[in-house]
Amino acid sequence: MEVRDKLYIDGAWVAPAGTGTIEVTNATTEEVMGTIPEGTHEDVNRAVTAAKAAFDGWAATSPDERAKYLTRIQEGLGARMAELGNLIAGELGMPINLSNLIQVGLPIADFATTAQVVGEFPFEEQIGNSLVVREPVGVVGAITPWNYPLHQIAAKVAPALAAGCTLVLKPSEVTPLNVFILAEVVDDVGLPPGVFNLVTGYGPVVGEAITAHPDVDMVTFTGSTRAGKRVAEVAAQTVKRVTLELGGKSANIILDDADFHRAVNDGVGKCFLNSGQTCIALTRMLVPRSRLAEVEDIAVAAAVSYTPGDPFDPDTRMGPLVSAAQRERVRAFIRQGVEEGAKLLTGGDEPPEGLDKGYFVRPTVFSDVDNSMTIAREEIFGPVLSIIPYDDEDDAVRIANDTVYGLAGGVWSGDQERAKAVARRLRTGQVEVNGGSFNPVAPFGGYKQSGIGREYGKYGFEEFLETKSLNL
C-alpha cells in the first residue's frame, strides 16, 4: 500500500496542518491501495502564501528558461512511465496498455508541446503607438478531475508554469496517487520553491478555499457542470479569472452516405473509451431512421467485444468504473432508460458475469431513444450508448444541438465537404469529422454549459496571460 502523508508546499515535503487521511481504492479489487493527506484551509493558506511570494521571481525568468524546466519535467515523467501507468490502471481501472499510452503518454506530451509553444510565442506586439505585452496572470489555483488524472493536471500545470504563473494544485481525491510522482519530479528538476504547490483533499474544503482565496488570481477547473457552477460563483466574489472544462453529451451524426460499418464501430469505441468516463465521449449516436435496424446489429456486435475485466490482463478492452458511487450512478441511469421506454439492445444494470468484485458495469446500448429521455439528456459517465433515429440532415443537426452541453461531437459522411458543412452547424467546441483523431495541441473546450475558455497548445497557453498596453 502506498502511504503519502505529506503535502508539497514551498519547495518541500511538509506535514499537513490536520491529521485526517483519505483512502484511495483500487477500482478492480475494491481494496485500499493507498492513503493521502486530507488537506485543510490552513494548508491552502500556506500554499497560496508560498505561491504569491514566488511569483515575482518566476515571472521574471525568461520564456526559454521556463521551457527548459518543462522539458526536464517531461523527461522525469518519461523515466517513470511504467510506474505511472501501473498506478493509474490501479486507481482508475483503465486497461494497462491504454493507461500507458493515454494516461501517461498524453501528460508527457503536454509538457513537451507547451515547452515548444512558449519558445515560439510572441509576447510583444506593436499596434500604432502602443506596445502590447503579454504577462502572467499571477497565482493560479488548479482543480482537476479523476478520469484522466495526470493528463488534466499537466494540461493546467504546464501552460501555467510556461506563462510565468505560480500555482496551487488540488487533484481529485479519487485518483490522486499519481500526482505525488509529478511533485517528486518537480522537486528533482529544481523548480524554485513556491512555484508549484500540491494540497490534496476534498473539493468542498480545499477546492473551495483555493477558489475563494483573495490572493489567487485565477482558477482553472475541470469537472462536472454542477461543481463548475459553484467554482464560478465563489470565484466571482473576488472577480478572479476562471476557466472551466465541464460536462458533455456529445452527438455523433452518421449521415446516410457514410460507411456505416466503420462509423458505428468507431462510434461505439468513442463512447466506451475509459469505460465511458470521458467528457468528450460520443454518447448519442444519431442515425437515419431507415437504417436503424442495420445500425443496431453493428452496434451490438461492437459492444459485446468490449468485455470487462482486469485492466492488467492485456486482452481486457474495458476496465471497471472508478468507484462504487460511480457504478451505482451508471446502473441507475440504465434502469431509468428502461423505465422511460428506450429499447435495451445489450448490457443492463446487472453485474457482468464472473465479475462480482470490482466496480464493473456491462457495456450497454440503447436504441430508439428519444432525445427527451434522461439517458439522452444527462451525462452518464459510463459505458452507455444511446442510438437516436433522425428523419433528415436538418433533423439530425437539431437533435445534436438540443442539449445544454457543447463540448464535442462527430459527423460521418462519404463526402468530406458535406461532413464539414454539417460539423460547422454543431454548437460545440470540437467535432470529429469521419473519425478524425484527437489533437493534443488544438484548442479544447466547450460551448454553453460545457465550459469557459480553452486548453492545449497556443490557445490554452493564452488563458494564463494578461494583456497590457504601453502607450508610447
- Whether 245 is a known active-site residue: answer yes
CB count in 10 Å sphere of residue 463: 23
d(CA 40, CA 18): 7
Q: Which of 165, 173, 279, 463 is catalytic?
A: 279
Which residue, among 198, 197, 203, has the nearest Cα to 173 in the 3D structure?
A: 203
d(CA 443, CA 131): 27
> What is the secondary structure of 191-203 as a DSSP string?
PPTTSEEE----I
Between the CA atoms of 224, 42, 15 and 148, what dihedral angle is there, to the nearest 10 degrees?
A: 10
Report in angstroms the alpha-carbon separations of 65 from 164, 182, 185, 211, 222.
10, 19, 17, 29, 28
Q: Cell match 461543481: residue? A: 227
CB count in 10 Å sphere of residue 239: 7
d(CA 79, CA 150): 15
d(CA 142, CA 136): 15
- Whether 417 is a known active-site residue: answer no
Q: Which of 245, 296, 379, 463 is catalytic?
A: 245
- Work out the angle at residue 357's Cα, subtended by the Cα atoms of residues 352 and 363, and round it to the nearest 5 degrees: 25
* Catalytic residue IDs: 245, 279
